[in-house]
Structure 1
């Protein structure tokens, strides 16, 4: 177990190296390494004693474990989402109104009958993300036999792009004899949904989708971090 190490900074630097190695562009709203360092310095100055405590992924591990257990979600996947969304910066707000460590939008808070102001509370922010992941999983209705990696990837795509476009891609896959529960097939049809030959088909209910590049990169990034976290942290 490592001590006296900032996993926020370490994880951010690791991903920066990874993105550089594959030529992946960082989104405009994605916090930089400098943002993560500034947030970490603020945190350490507020409670220096915490530095001596064992770290696994982030200082939010206990909340992630708690919410993950209650919502039936892998807390390491939730941590990977938090890293991708905010680099674990609690007070981050995007230009589109998403807030907090999990970058939850006000519409999600209202959907779950939570006050929009509660998005500023980190535990509530994480809890809403867990609730959203569980609801997406339920709405996607994938069979229990679906491989875990495929299930996670399809849920992550829904978390990022909205479930409507993912459902359209799955319907397209099914209509053309592909596997609607395979991320390889679903991602292929997400890319094709910018083509009128595909998005004008009767099975497509949500129209053209032009954001497949960003969504596929997001899924790859989160799954990459998830696999890293599985090597240093146990599920329970």
Structure 2
């Protein structure tokens, strides 16, 4: 059944002219003045209260701990103020703004800069948000507004995309859509794949982050002008906190750090894609021989097939000992800094330490799983935990039980992992949102790479055995025996 949806919010944007007045009108107000009340309170309590959402673009618990674009910004801002960070992430867009009005201090939740919003003021623009139309693969191409007629169209209420649709309606009378305050982007994309929606309007960066997990959804066209992502502050708390944020963001922009964060979180959407057997075999010939003995030794110590460890290493780094991910994990086995410390790895870029550390880490994960998980299921779940963390894996096992599946079978758990991207499910879990589609692809790829390496290894052994029994001086004669005798 289609989730409960509310009628669209039909409100004209009209805030471009207000934007300059809003941002340029915030002149510095020192603490200790009426305009500095909210900042004074935050400094006095020694923490910044941030209201956010548990989504991939804002805040979630990742492989290396708390992460997300706005989490990282807020963490740095709190450090800039010399205080700690306190997060409330159990929000939707509407409740973020309400919490800012009534509790403060700051709303950082992929909020569109909307000067007409009551009771809050906004920071300077942080990130450009380009609305795009996405649609179900197999439909006629949706490459312009006129193609929206007759489609069941959805979006998120309060995200800003509903305002763009409101503007479009002025040019295309009769345009209708469904807007929800309950869903998140991944759930909209799932509704499209499940044929309960034909299309949706979301933001470009949201589609890039999610497209790998929803292959049945295609990008259509850009819709309207870009909006601006901004932070929200209580209007009755003075201007000093907003001004401090503006100064911090301006400095981050001038130093190039803001662009680096945008690239880190939104500029790498395809690193998990399967590269194809031919490319993999090329790397196996060109790169793997330098590390084969290291994988073999680490596998002997940890009790794994060395080709499995090599396959995991390829999925992590393409056998690049100096690899660094957008989120800061490094080395051939892509260990996080805390994990490397726990494993006694002092140099993550040293391939010897990295391979040994990765093998020990996979063994620890496998050993920590419940005894009820056996055989290949245990191995596959350990690999999934290497990618997404044990906490999220346990959350997926609990969801599997709720859905009537077997939490000890990988085939059932892999069906539940992508649900960690959907609010309906992740808000019931201990660890919240996760990019749950990633470990499914991750394990699938490693299994494929392992199969290819095993095939190549068997073929080489057969080739060597054949050569061992064929004298070089008899090769021509033996080849002639293949055809019919003259």
Q: Same fold (TM over 0.5)?
A: yes
Query: In 1, distance between residues paired with 2:297 and 2:372?
Result: 26
Structure 1 residue 28: Cα displacement: 7.9
Q: 1:66 aligns with which of 287, 293, 297?
A: 297
Q: 2:400 aligns with which of 170, 173, 177?
A: 173
Q: So what's the TM-score if we normalise by structure 1?
A: 0.69
- Which residue number in structure 2 is paired with residue 205 of structure 1? 430
Q: Contact 1:142 / 1:181 at 8 angstroms: preserved in 2?
A: no
Q: Contact 1:29 / 1:94 at 8 angstroms: preserved in 2?
A: no
1:151 equivalent to 2:395? Answer: no
**Counterpart of 2:348 in 1: which secondary structure?**
helix
Q: Contact 1:192 / 1:198 at 8 angstroms: preserved in 2?
A: yes
Unaligned runs of 5+ in 2: 1-214, 217-268, 459-486
Cα pair distance change 1:122/1:168, threshold 3 Å: same
1:75-224 to structure 2, matched below 5 A, reads 75-115=306-346, 118-143=347-372, 146-148=374-376, 150-201=377-428, 204-209=429-434, 211-224=435-448
Structure 1 residue 83: Cα displacement: 1.2
Query: In 1, distance between residues paired with 2:345 and 2:319?
Result: 22
**Counterpart of 2:325 in 1: which secondary structure?**
coil
Q: So what's the TM-score if we normalise by structure 2?
A: 0.35
Query: In 2, distance between residues paired with 1:176 and 1:213?
Result: 18
Q: Contact 1:101 / 1:125 at 8 angstroms: preserved in 2?
A: yes
Count of paired positions: 186
Cα pair distance change 1:168/1:137, threshold 3 Å: same
Query: In 2, distance between residues paired with 1:87 and 1:100?
Result: 10
Tell me which moved more, 65-74 or 212-221: 212-221
- Which residue number in structure 2 is paired with residue 233 of structure 1? 457
Q: Contact 2:317 / 2:331 at 8 angstroms: preserved in 1?
A: yes
> CA offsets, 1:149-202, max 9 Å, x none?
x2232111111111110011112223443111211211111112223332233x
Structure 1 residue 30: Cα displacement: 9.8
Structure 1 residue 136: Cα displacement: 0.6
Q: Contact 1:29 / 1:95 at 8 angstroms: preserved in 2?
A: no
**Counterpart of 1:170 in 2: which secondary structure?**
helix
Q: Contact 1:92 / 1:100 at 8 angstroms: preserved in 2?
A: yes
Cα pair distance change 1:75/1:180, threshold 3 Å: same
> CA offsets, 1:117-166, max 9 Å, x none?
x212111000110111011101212436x232x22321111111111100
Q: Contact 2:345 / 2:354 at 8 angstroms: preserved in 1?
A: no
Q: Contact 2:320 / 2:332 at 8 angstroms: preserved in 1?
A: yes
Cα pair distance change 1:64/1:195, threshold 3 Å: same
Cα pair distance change 1:233/1:29, threshold 3 Å: closer
Which aligned runs of 4 or more in structure 1 are off by greater than 4 angstroms?
28-31
Query: In 2, distance between residues paired with 1:112 and 1:184?
Result: 30
Q: Contact 1:30 / 1:85 at 8 angstroms: preserved in 2?
A: no
Pick the structure with more strand per residue: 2
Q: Contact 1:63 / 1:123 at 8 angstroms: preserved in 2?
A: yes
Q: 2:270 aligns with which of 26, 33, 36?
A: 26
Query: In 2, distance between residues paired with 1:143 and 1:65?
Result: 29
Structure 1 residue 109: Cα displacement: 1.1
Q: Over aligned residues, Cα RMSD in angstroms? A: 2.9
Pick the structure with more helix per residue: 1
Query: In 1, distance between residues paired with 2:305 and 2:319?
Result: 17
Cα pair distance change 1:193/1:92, threshold 3 Å: closer
Cα pair distance change 1:28/1:74, threshold 3 Å: closer
